[in-house]
Amino acid sequence: MFTRFACMSRHVTRRQHAFTLLEMVIVVVLIGILLAVAISRLLPYLDEAERVSVLTLESQLKNTLVMEAAQRIVRGQSASIAELDGSNPMALLLEAPDSYLGERKSGSRVPTRHWYFDSGRRRLVYKTGKPYAPNGDDQIREDPQFEVRVEFADRDADGVFNAQNDELYGVRLLRMAGTEWLTGGRSL
């Protein structure tokens, strides 16, 4: 009789510590709700991180272009600066980002959130996609596009940089499209 009572006592103790199916479902539902709320709060940060990464690479490319022009001037190759006009600035980087796909022809299919150089238009393009965060509009953002331009005072009026006659202002990476997204909707 004593052993039977001890077994029943252990059985009751086990039941008191075990989860019922209803309790388990409630816990799973609560965890799901918490995850949904957390993810909805984090999605805007993914969009912002994408925008900041494009701005960071833009800044890096601008610095690389300035350094390339300075090196050519120091080496006495000022006339070769004209070659930078319309060039692919990614070719000047020591290591292109993983999201860079290389040179493509206009109209090529490019996956979203990747860089490519449009060889037909001579533009560096970042292919955006739909925003991660639901913000009420499903509009696709305009893809940021950049062109390398040699800026100079064309004293001989031939439209081409000539180191002997023209005054060099600089080599610039100009935004040709996508400015609204890159500035976060603020005007420059």
In the chain, where the domains are located: 42-182
At 29 the pLDDT is 93
pLDDT band at residue 141 under the 50/70/90 scheme:
confident
> What phi and psi, each to the nearest 5 degrees, are found at residue 172?
-125, 150
Residue 170 to residue 149: CA distance in whole angstroms: 8
Task: Please give the biggest Cα pair distance in the chain.
Answer: 115
The pTM of this model reads 0.77
- Amino acid found at 177: A
At 162 the pLDDT is 83
Give 30-48 pLDDT, tens digit per residue. 999 999 888 888 888 888 9
At 28 the pLDDT is 93
Give 1-16 pLDDT, tens digit per residue. 555 555 555 555 555 6
Task: Fill in the DSSP letter of residue 141.
Answer: P
Residue 89 to residue 63: CA distance in whole angstroms: 10
Q: What is the mean pLDDT of residues 117-131?
A: 93
